[in-house]
Amino acid sequence: MTNGQRWAHIPQELKQRPQWCYTYPQDVDPLRRKAPRKAGNYLASDTNPADWMTFELACKMALQVNGEVGFILTEYDEYTCIDLDVVDAETQRDKGQDRKSTRLNSSHQYY
């Protein structure tokens, strides 16, 4: 399934909000490859709405760098996202954190 096909399943209600960023998988620092980006591939703040963009622009930017799009959650949103990735030796090294709660406080969700 292509990114475009996956992104087509994102609810229209979320697409209408200008709370989107994208990822930059070519970053030299592997820890920043999934970090939210604003135009120009610069790191975006997940607390500064001036860094966010429309869904359409985030998709365009993500496609240019083979990245993903991410929705930025705020305290005013009526949404909750829970990351249910399987964390094991093959997918992520142990960082000494409680794996059950590591991502529950994240403010961005990627598709």
Measured CA to CA, the distance from residue 109 to residue 111 in angstroms comes to: 7
Q: How far is residue 88's CA from residue 58's CA, in Å, rounded to a whole number?
A: 30
The predicted model scores a pTM of: 0.74
Could you report the per-residue pLDDT of 38-95, keeping only the tens digit for each?
Answer: 999 999 999 999 999 999 999 999 999 999 999 999 989 988 878 776 666 665 555 5
* pLDDT for the residue numbered 66: 95
66 backbone φψ class: left, alpha, beta (φ>0; ψ -120 to 50): left
In this prediction, residue 81 carries a pLDDT of 79
Residue 9 one-letter amino acid: H
User: Is residue 99 over pLDDT 50?
Assistant: no
- pLDDT tens, residue by residue, 81-90: 787 766 666 6
